[in-house]
Amino acid sequence: MPQTPVARPQTDARKSTSYLPTLDGWRALSILAVMIFHDSIHSLWRLNTDWFHLHGQMGVDVFFAISGILICSRLLAEEQRFGSISLRHFYIRRAFRIFPPAILYLLAVATLSALAIIPHIGMDWFGALFFFRNYTRLLGSHPAAGQWFTGHFWSLSVEEHFYLLLPAILICTRQKHRLKVMALLIFLVAASLAWQIHHRAWDVIQFHSDVRLDSLFIPACIAILIQRDSVRAWFRRVGHLWPLTLAAVFALITWTPENFLHILAVATLMPVLVLGTVLHPQSTLARFLELPPLRFVGRISYSLYLWQMLFFVGHSDSNISTLGSLQLWPLNYLATFACAIASYYLLEKPAMHFGHQLASRIRR
């Protein structure tokens, strides 16, 4: 998923940089969990990947936690520096960060579909292109094999809807009312989730923004709260308890059924866990997350997320293994990393650089 830098807390000796290597580590673990989730189950003696095959989709919740904290923090930092939030500045940066790699992937999928190499992708392709892929089923899209290759755009759609709502809230409300407005929105999403989860099948609603936006707005609220010295000090103190938070998240994911309280608890604990490692970069977990291989995987995690769906089909109920050995271990990993690395260095980095330059000229 797309990444955005944010200022490192002043307690860190590396405070002069806006790059947070810890978060790249989280992105790496998240994308690897998603890839293993989409893969077939692999075994080595008594070890296997069954846990990830069952719960690896929670990697997306980590991406949501990171995005909620970082996007809100960036907007608040801009407001503090310039006295206002520029929508043009924000959306230019977001557009050049998100659209080029996503459009490249969608063009590749459309070409493969037109050549009958993969199944027909139908209207879901347009849902992915215009970021309403998480609602195409309600708009008449019928289950088909080709749906798989754009299915992961549900999370990108949720994030895009967040990008529309959050800046509007920050711009249109006074500072003292922002938490109240966002808390009201979280309540409405939670109420929608509580009602729908008892009246509709979870596999139908689980990707909808109206039941998933709390996973982004709860972290955004935390980003607002830690602007206060007292709250930031509290997070620093409890951040030392990250092993307990990690254990609680693991327990929720593994042993708690997917119900209203479970989903809300995960949406709350994920950003607390992530923020705990950011505020305590000397902790064991933070140091692990900052290992160079994880940081590299984290940097290309957005492209990995886009391309893995083409090569990882082990979790699909449809017979879509049309790319032969490229969809089997280990070539599925090699193919995904090759596409992601090419996308990152040849398209993503130049597009981000251009977007930053263009946005900076607007600010001047």
Bond prior to 330 in cis (omega within 30° of 0): yes
2 within a domain of the structure (yes/no):
no
Q: Is 327 exposed, middle or buried (0-12, 13-18, 19+ CB in 10 A)?
A: buried
Per residue in 37-91, pLDDT (tens digit) is 999 889 888 889 999 988 999 999 999 999 999 999 999 999 999 899 999 999 9
Give the C-alpha separation, 38 to 15, whole Å: 38
8 within a domain of the structure (yes/no):
no
152 within a domain of the structure (yes/no):
yes
Give the C-alpha separation, 116 to 64, whole Å: 34
Instruction: Give the pLDDT score at 10.
Output: 41
Residues of the chain with pLDDT under 50: 5-17
Q: Which of 149, 63, 169 is nearest to 109 (CA)?
A: 149
1 within a domain of the structure (yes/no):
no
Give the C-alpha separation, 5 to 19, whole Å: 6
Q: What is the DSSP letter of 201?
A: -
Instruction: Give the pLDDT score at 140.
Output: 76
192 within a domain of the structure (yes/no):
yes
**Cα pseudo-dihedral 253, 258, 260, 264, rounded to 10:** 20
Instruction: Give the pLDDT score at 2.
Output: 64
For helices 331-343 and 301-311, what crossing angle results, to 10°?
A: 140
Instruction: Give the pLDDT score at 364.
Output: 59
Domain residues for the domain of 116 are: 21-363
Instruction: Give the pLDDT score at 198.
Output: 87
Instruction: Give the pLDDT score at 259.
Output: 79
Q: Is 21 exposed, middle or buried (0-12, 13-18, 19+ CB in 10 A)?
A: buried
6 within a domain of the structure (yes/no):
no
Predicted TM-score of the model (pTM)? 0.92
111 within a domain of the structure (yes/no):
yes
Q: How many domains does the chain have?
A: 1
- The per-residue b/e assignment along 49-87, b for 16 or more CB within 10 angstroms, e otherwise, is beebbeebbbbbbbbbbbbbbbbbbbbbbbeeeeeebbe
Instruction: Give the pLDDT score at 243.
Output: 84
Q: Which two tokens stand for residue 241?
A: 């308890």
36 within a domain of the structure (yes/no):
yes
Q: Which of 201, 223, 92, 67 is nearest to 143 (CA)?
A: 201
Instruction: Give the pLDDT score at 326.
Output: 94
- Contacts of 329-332 with C-beta under 8 Å, sequence gap 24+, read 329/39, 329/40, 329/42, 332/39
